[in-house]
Structure 1
C-alpha cells in the first residue's frame, strides 16, 4: 500500500490519538531508519484492549502487552524501538491494519523475526459474501456503530490477519492470539474474552474491501499462529493474580519462555503451557495453526532467535539512587509460586552476586544485595535466576464465592469455610482464588465446587435444597486434598533447579516403550553451555518420540512407567504425588516388609525410592507384580515428581501412620492424610537446604528451599 494511501486510511485515527500528520511521519522515520540496520532484525506489533465503548471492559489485556514486551526485550533481544504497542483507543481496526502494513510489512525482510500479539475480545460475524457461515474476528477498540437501525461491526477478520501474516517475506513469523470466538457454556468462572455473536450484525464494508485486496496478493510466508483454544466449546480466560490481571494463556506462555532454553520444540513448549493453565484452573487446549511442514517439531530458536541459551526468572528493570536497591521484573516465576514468593527469597545475578527480596507488588519487586561490601554494581537488563525460594507455612486454600449467591448464602458460606482449617473466602473475580463455590446452573438450589473456568468438580454437587453450611461441611475432605495439591504445586522448579534430573512418562508394551511426555531440569552445568546453532538443530531421535498433542491422551488399560535419570553427582530421593479429576490424591507406593523375630504379621512399610548418581530407574520396576495399569473410567491426571538430595524422613513417618493399601494393590494408589503428607514433605525439603542456617529469623514460619537441593517436575495427561 502506498504511503499516501496509508496516511489517508489513518487520518481520522490520528485526531483521536492527538497526533498530527507531521508527528506521525517523525515517528515513522525512526522505523525507516532502522531498515539500514543489519539483518536479521526483530519486529513486534503488540495489541491490547481492555476498554471498549459499548461492551463490558476486560482487565488483563494491557498486562499481556507488558508481559510480551518485557519478554521480547530482555529474553529475546528485541530493541524497544522495534516494538510497536497499540492499546485501548489506539487499537482500532483501521489503525491495527495500517500499523501492520507500515511497521511490519514495510520493514520485514527475509530472515527477520516478526511477532504479532492480540489480547482482547473475539467474536463471530456473518459476511454478505457467505451468509451461511460465521467468520472468526478480532473485536477492535471502535467495535461498532449504529446506522439506519443496523449494527455495523468494525471487526478485524481472522482471515484478514492470516493473509497479512502470510504477506511478510520471512518464515520467522509468530502470532499469539489471546482471544476466542465462542461464548462459554458456563456462567460461573473466570471472565471470558469472547463477545456473543449477533446474527443481525453486518461487517463494515471497508474490511471486506481490504480482505478482497489481500486475497489478490501472493503468500510469501508460513506463519506460526498460537491460539488460546483448539475447540469452539472453549474460551480464552483472564484472571486476577497477585496485584494484577492477565490472560491465562499469555501469562503461562511468557512465563515458560523466560525459563526455557531455545532448543525447546514449539510443541513441547505448548505442553508446558497447557500444564500451567490446568494449575491456574483452566483446561484450555491450545492450538498451533501452521501450514509449515513439521512445524510442531520446530525449535523455538528458529522462530524467536533468543539472545542466549540461559533462562531466567526475571530481570533488573531499575536501580535506585543508593545503588544498593534494585527493581526486578519477576514474570519468569511460575504463576502459582509468585503469589507466595516470600521476603528473603534470593536471586542470583550473572556476576554471581545474590539479591535478597525485600518487597513485591504484582510482577515487580525490590531487592538488595545479600552482601553489599565488594559487590559488583547491578545493571539494568541483567537477568536474575532463582537461588532460594521462601514460602510461608500458613498458606490457605482460597475459595471464591459465586456472585450469583444471595447475600444470606454468602454469609453462611463465609462462616462455614471459616470453620475449616486453612480456608479463606473472597468474592469471585475480585481477588486471586483457587476454586469457586456456587450454584449449579441447571439446578440453582444445589451447591457445588467448580474450577476457575466454571467446570463442576466431580462428586461435589449436593442434593436439592441442601443448606449452604451443610454443603461446605460436606466438601471439607475434598478441600483438604485440594490444599495439599496446591502446596505441592508450589515446589515446581523445572526452570530454576540446579539438580540435574530427566524424567520421561512412557507407555510400555511387551516389545518396546514410547515416550508421551518429557520433563528435564533446565539450569544445570550441561544445559547452560552455549551451543552452536547446528548443534541446537540436531534433535535426538529419542526426543522425537514425544507425542504431538500438548496434553497426551492415554487409553484405559495402558501400561505406563516413568523413566527417571539422575544426571547429578549425588544420590537423589523421590516422592510421586498425584491428583485425579481435581478430587482424589494419589501416590506411588514402594514397599518393604521388616523381618522381625517371632512375628507372623509384619506390617509392610513405605520405603525410600533412591536413584544413585548417573543411574536410571524405571518407576514402577518392570515386573508383573508391580505394573502400573491405567484403570477406568476416564479421568484427568496431574502428577508431581519431587526429588531431593536428602531422605524424606518426615514424609515417610506420616505415610507409615496411615492405613495405606496393601502391597498387592496397584503401585499408584489413593493417598491418605494428603495434607499431613505434603506439609511433612515441605519440611523435608526445608531440612535439605543448608542455607536455612543463615536465615534463622525466617526459618520459624517459612519453608526455605535451595535450588541446589530439590527438583520438582509436573506431568498431566488425559485418560480416555
Structure 2
C-alpha cells in the first residue's frame, strides 16, 4: 500500500485525532514499515515519557523503552525496523493513537505477535457527560490542549487503549503498562507514576475517537500486564547505579532475559513480585485480560479499573483468578536458554565488545565488578573491564582459534566478582529539616558499613524519614515507603537517639543485603530444585517452587520443568499464620551439595535453619545438641525440617512478608558454621528454624565460603583480580530466593 493511499484511507481518523497530515509525515519514514513482509511478524510500539508539560518530570520511562527494545530484539527475535518507539514530546496523544493505527493496526495480520508498552504517568478523569464516573487514563506528553479552556486535558482513556488492543486482527497481543492511576496525597520514598485525580474535561477529539472505536469489530483477546493491582500500590521507579527505571519493567524484563518464560503468566508474576519486594516495593502486578468479553460501556466505581470486572483482575502472583491456568503467555523467546546480556557492539580491534547486561538481578548489577566473566554459546569467555549502568565493556579471553565475535551473541554469567566492602546505604528523606539531616548523617556515621545519601540523588537501600501521622517521630522505611517494624523512635525523641537504637536492625538489614547478592537461580550450573510446602493432611500443599534452569540440556527437559513449575505455582503464595512448613530439596547434580537457609521473617528479624544433632556418647546422661551441616547426596532429596513432633517449623504472626534464601555449594560452609556456633543458644532456642543471633558475621562468613569454594578452580585464571573482591564460579554455588505473604 502506498503512503498516499494509506493516508487517504485513514484521513477521517487523523482528523478525529486532531493531527494534520503534515505533522504525521514530519515524524519520518520509520512510521511506514513495509507491509509486504511475510507473516507471522513481530511488531512493537513502545512509549516512554520522562519530560512532561507543566508537571513534574519522571526519570526512568525512556530506560524502560530501552529495556523492552533490547529484550525484544535480542531475546525474542524482533527486527529493529518493526519496533516503533515514541519518547517525550513525540508521545503526544495524537501521535500515540495514530502510531497505534498505523504501525500496529494497519500492519498486523492474523498470527502476528504484537507488543505494546507504556511507561509514564497515569491518572483519573471525569467525563463531562458522566460527572459521577471516574475513569482511568494514560497521561501523554502534551497533558493539556493549547486552548483558552485550561480545564481540558489531553489524556488517553484506558477504555480507548483496550479497544485499540482488541481491534487488532491477531490474538497474540501483549501490553505492558508501567503506570498507575491513584496518587496518594503524600508520598515518601521512590517516585510514583500517578497524578492526582483530574476534575478537568476530556478533549473532544479523544471522546470522538473513542466513539468511533466502539463501532469497530473487536476480535482480539489481548493480555494486559499492569504494574500494580491495588489503588494503594502506586507504580514506582527506582534509582539504580547510573540509571533510573520503572521497577515493574526492570523486574519483568530481567526475568525474561534470564529465565525461559513459563507458558503461564502466574509463574512469571511470582518471580517478578519477588524482585519487586527486594527493590523495596510492595507492588503486586495485575493481569487484565480480554479472554472474556469486556463491555466497552462498563462504568467503574471509584477505586475500580475501567473495563475490569472483578473476575478479570488479578491480585498479584497469587490472585490471578480461576481462568489463569489456561491463559498462555504470548512472549516466548527464540532460544530456550536464558542469558544475562548480549553483545551490543564490537570495536575495531575485534576483541573489545560492548555488553547490555539487563539480565543480571538488579541488586547484583549495582556491585558487579571488573574481571567478572561471561561465556558465549561458542564457549569463548569475555572478561568485564568496565561498567556504566546497564552497559559494559569486555575483552575476549586469550584463546587460540577463538571464533569471531558477533553483535547479538547472548552472554551467560560464568564468574561473579563483587567488592568485599559493601555498605548499607540509608537515604535521608528530603522532608527532614537541614539540622535533622546533619544530625542523622553524624549518627549513622558512627556505624561501620553504613553510609548516607540524600534521597533521590543516589541509589539507596532504605529511607530514614519522619512518620507522616506523627511528624515528631522518626523511623526507617523501605524505598517504597513501608515502615520497617521496630525502627521508630519515641514522640519528640532526638534524631541521634532514634538512629542509635537502630543498631541491631541495621546489622540485620546489611546481612540480608549481602546474602541477596548470592542470588543466581538463572545462571548457576548446579542442578537443584526446592519446593516450599505447607504440611496439610495426607499430602503437602505447594506454595512455590524454584530451581536452577541453566542445567537443562534439551528443550524437552525444559518444557517438563516449566510444566512442573506451573503445577507447583497454582496455589497462592500466601501462608496463613499457624501453618506448618517445610522445604523439599532435590539435588539433581552429580555432586553432593551443602545447604544453608538464611532469611528475614515477617517482622524483619533474621532467621536461619539449624540442624541439631545429639552426640551418642556412652555413660553420658547430659549431652548437648550440636550444629551439623546439611548435605544432600547426588540424586537424593530431603525435607527441611525432618517431619517429626519434636522439630516443627510453624509460621507465627504478624501478617507481613517473609523472605528466605536457600544457598548451596559442593564445598562445606565451614566458616559459616563456625560463625553460627559462636552464638549461645539455650535449650529452648534449639528449633529447626530460629533467630539468627549474629546475622552480619554469618553473612560475611557465607560470602567468604563461596569465595573459597571457587578459589582453587579459578586460581590461575583470576590472578589479576583484586584481593579485596569476592570471586564466585557459577559451577560452585546456587542461591534460590523465596518470598511469601503471611496472613
Report if aligned partners of 2:30, 2:84 keep a CA contact under 8 Å in 1: no
Following TM superposition, by how much is the alpha carbon of 1:16 offset from its aligned partner in structure 2, in angstroms?
6.5
Following TM superposition, by how much is the alpha carbon of 1:386 offset from its aligned partner in structure 2, in angstroms?
0.1
After superposition, residues 571-610 of structure 1 pair within 5 angstroms as 571-581=592-602, 583-595=604-616, 600-610=621-631
Distance 1:260 1:542, change over 3 A: closer
Q: Which residue of 1 aligns with 2:160?
A: 160
| Deviations 1:644-680, CA, capped at 9 Å, x for gaps | 1111111111111102353775421111100000111
Q: Which residue of 2 aligns with 1:703?
A: 726
Q: Which residue of 2 aligns with 1:719?
A: 742
Following TM superposition, by how much is the alpha carbon of 1:372 offset from its aligned partner in structure 2, in angstroms?
4.7
Q: Which residue of 2 aligns with 1:437?
A: 464
Q: Which residue of 2 aligns with 1:356?
A: 383
Structure 1: give runs of 5+ residues left out of the alignment: none
Whole-angstrom CA distance in 2 between matches of 1:9 and 1:81: 28
Following TM superposition, by how much is the alpha carbon of 1:409 offset from its aligned partner in structure 2, in angstroms?
1.2
| Deviations 1:19-75, CA, capped at 9 Å, x for gaps | 54xx74x4444x2x2x32222110000000000011000000000000000000000
Whole-angstrom CA distance in 2 between matches of 1:538 and 1:579: 28
Distance 1:541 1:250, change over 3 A: closer
Give the counterpart of 1:546 among 565, 569, 578: 569
Following TM superposition, by how much is the alpha carbon of 1:262 offset from its aligned partner in structure 2, in angstroms?
3.6
After superposition, residues 453-602 of structure 1 pair within 5 angstroms as 453-524=480-551, 526=552, 528-531=553-556, 536=559, 540=563, 543-547=566-570, 549=572, 552-581=573-602, 583-595=604-616, 600-602=621-623
Q: Which residue of 2 aligns with 1:3?
A: 10
Following TM superposition, by how much is the alpha carbon of 1:296 offset from its aligned partner in structure 2, in angstroms?
2.9
Distance 1:537 1:575, change over 3 A: closer
Following TM superposition, by how much is the alpha carbon of 1:596 offset from its aligned partner in structure 2, in angstroms?
5.1
**So what's the TM-score if we normalise by structure 2?**
0.91
Give the counterpart of 1:451 among 478, 489, 499: 478
Report if aligned partners of 1:186, 1:454 keep a CA contact under 8 Å in 2: no
Give the counterpart of 2:341 among 314, 324, 330: 314
Whole-angstrom CA distance in 1 between matches of 2:473 and 2:36: 66
Q: Which residue of 1 aligns with 2:180?
A: 180
Q: Which residue of 2 aligns with 1:203?
A: 202
Give the counterpart of 1:390 among 410, 417, 423: 417
Distance 1:582 1:55, change over 3 A: farther
Report if aligned partners of 1:167, 1:220 keep a CA contact under 8 Å in 2: yes
What SS is found at the alignment partner of 2:133?
Answer: strand
Distance 1:448 1:28, change over 3 A: closer
Q: Which residue of 1 aligns with 2:274?
A: 275
Whole-angstrom CA distance in 2 between matches of 1:664 and 1:477: 19
What SS is found at the alignment partner of 1:63?
Answer: helix
Q: Which residue of 2 aligns with 1:234?
A: 233
Whole-angstrom CA distance in 2 between matches of 1:537 and 1:350: 23
Q: Which residue of 2 aligns with 1:40?
A: 40
Distance 1:548 1:73, change over 3 A: farther
Give the counterpart of 2:324 among 296, 321, 325: 296
Distance 1:14 1:352, change over 3 A: farther
Distance 1:14 1:4, change over 3 A: closer
Q: Which residue of 2 aligns with 1:346?
A: 373
Report if aligned partners of 1:661, 1:669 keep a CA contact under 8 Å in 2: no
Greater Cα offset, 569-578 or 176-185: 176-185
Distance 1:700 1:542, change over 3 A: closer
Greater Cα offset, 582-591 or 627-636: 627-636
**So what's the TM-score if we normalise by structure 1?**
0.94
Whole-angstrom CA distance in 1 between matches of 2:259 and 2:619: 57
What SS is found at the alignment partner of 1:235?
Answer: coil
| Deviations 1:537-594, CA, capped at 9 Å, x for gaps | 9974774242354xx1111111111111111111111001110246200111110123
What SS is found at the alignment partner of 1:135?
Answer: strand
Give the paired residue count: 705
After superposition, residues 257-268 of structure 1 pair within 5 angstroms as 257-268=256-267
What SS is found at the alignment partner of 1:717?
Answer: strand
What SS is found at the alignment partner of 2:245?
Answer: strand
What SS is found at the alignment partner of 1:304?
Answer: coil
Greater Cα offset, 629-638 or 434-443: 629-638
Q: Which residue of 2 aligns with 1:411?
A: 438
Report if aligned partners of 1:239, 1:246 keep a CA contact under 8 Å in 2: yes
What SS is found at the alignment partner of 2:116?
Answer: strand
Whole-angstrom CA distance in 1 between matches of 2:564 and 2:366: 39
Distance 1:15 1:426, change over 3 A: farther
What SS is found at the alignment partner of 1:175?
Answer: strand
Distance 1:355 1:283, change over 3 A: same
Report if aligned partners of 1:625, 1:664 keep a CA contact under 8 Å in 2: no
Report if aligned partners of 2:164, 2:213 keep a CA contact under 8 Å in 1: yes
Report if aligned partners of 1:660, 1:671 keep a CA contact under 8 Å in 2: no
Distance 1:299 1:209, change over 3 A: closer
